[in-house]
């Protein structure tokens, strides 16, 4: 439900049926504030999803966590504009890990905002020239699917549920368990006695902070020592 292409995509989807917005805040917090009307439309004709407690305000670290849910809900992820160091390429990598299709809209090699999509295309993402390039891969929705979505909307209700994790305490625990030699994430799960999804989310935040680095084979290590 963010500014720009996100809001435009929701409006376009609502004009034809329904949409889902995954929030980087509590479900009761409208962000950005100017999308309050869109927020109300989605409540009536779609769904608002968040893993954060009610009243939680959006923070920079929440958006990558939110994006892994977006990629998990989707058949495919399309990268339109992104620099190499932005969060969007990380979302594309999450989509690949989740077995989703990854698409990219090419751009000028001189434009930093096209670095992310162009890099993905080089690595094998589907090049998108029009919507047909997407539909050729994921197929068109069947009428029975559209009917089911309509029936779900009629029976929709607001459900609020959350599970709180002490992130700072877990981060300290992970740093104590990690060294500068890559270790398997499964081993960290065992040592820290935490669920794999919770640890994966925390490692993503730590990767963005520059405190850990990922390696092939689902391994991770601390950063800061040569």
Evaluate whether 100 touches 127 at the Cβ level (below 8 Å): no
Confidence band of 39 (pLDDT split at 50, 70, 90): very high
Least confident of 43-57, 90-104, 107-121, 189-203: 189-203
**DSSP strand pairing (47-49 vs 76-79):** unpaired
Q: Is the peptide bond before 32 cis (omega within 30 degrees of 0)?
A: yes
User: For a pLDDT cut of 90, what percent of the chain falls above it?
Assistant: 36
Residue 146: which pLDDT band, with cuts at 50, 70 and 90? low
* 25 within 8 A of 58, measured Cβ to Cβ: yes
> 45-67 b/e with 16+ CB inside 10 Å = b?
ebbbebbbeeebebeebbbbbbb
Average pLDDT over residues 123-136: 92
Q: Which residues are paired to 222 by β-bridges? A: 212
Tokens 């109300």 belong to 40
Distance from C-alpha of 193 to C-alpha of 188, rounded to nearest angstrom: 8
What pLDDT does residue 143 have? 57
Gap between the Cα atoms of 39 and 16, Å rounded: 17
User: Angle formed by the axes of helices 167-177 and 196-209, to 10°?
Assistant: 80
**Using CA atoms, how far apart are residues 193 and 199, in angstroms rounded to an integer?**
10
In the chain, the largest separation of any two C-alpha atoms, in whole Å, equals 58
**Percent of the chain clearing pLDDT 70 (strictly above):** 87
8 A C-beta contact, residue 11 and residue 38: yes
Cβ-contact 27, 50 below 8 angstroms: yes
Question: Phi and psi (nearest 5°) for 210?
Answer: 85, 20
Residue 152 has pLDDT above 70, yes or no: no
Tell the residue number behind the tokens 């909307």, with chain if given.
Answer: 153
Instruction: Give the span between the Cα atoms of 152 and 46, in whole angstroms.
Output: 9
Bridge partners (DSSP) listed for residue 127? 104
pLDDT in tens, 57-106: 988 888 888 888 999 888 899 999 888 877 788 888 888 888 899 999 99
Domains of the chain as residue ranges with CATH: 5-154 (3.40.50.450), 167-222 (1.10.10.10)
Q: How long is the chain?
A: 226
CA geometry: angle 101, 104, 105, nearest 5 deg: 150
């Amino acid at each position: 439900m963010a500014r720009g292409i996100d809001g435009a995509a929701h409006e376009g989807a609502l004009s034809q049926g329904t949409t889902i917005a995954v929030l980087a805040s509590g479900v009761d917090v409208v962000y950005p504030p100017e999308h309050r009307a869109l927020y109300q439309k989605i409540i009536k004709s779609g769904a608002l999803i968040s893993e954060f407690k009610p009243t939680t305000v959006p923070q920079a670290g929440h958006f990558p966590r939110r994006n892994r849910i977006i990629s998990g809900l989707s058949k495919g992820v399309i990268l339109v504009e992104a620099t190499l160091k932005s969060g969007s390429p990380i979302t594309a990598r999450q989509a690949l890990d989740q077995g989703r299709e990854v698409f990219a809209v090419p751009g000028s090699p001189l434009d930093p905002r096209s670095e992310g999509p162009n890099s993905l295309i080089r690595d094998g993402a589907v090049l998108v020239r029009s919507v047909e390039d997407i539909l050729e891969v994921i197929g068109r929705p069947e009428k029975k699917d559209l009917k089911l979505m309509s029936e779900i909307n009629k029976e929709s209700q607001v459900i609020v549920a959350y599970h709180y994790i002490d992130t700072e305490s877990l981060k300290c625990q992970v740093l104590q368990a990690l060294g500068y030699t890559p270790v398997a994430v499964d081993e960290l799960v065992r040592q820290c006695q935490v669920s794999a999804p919770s640890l994966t989310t925390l490692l993503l935040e730590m990767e963005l902070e520059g405190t850990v680095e990922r390696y092939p084979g689902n391994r991770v290590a601390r950063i800061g020592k040569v």
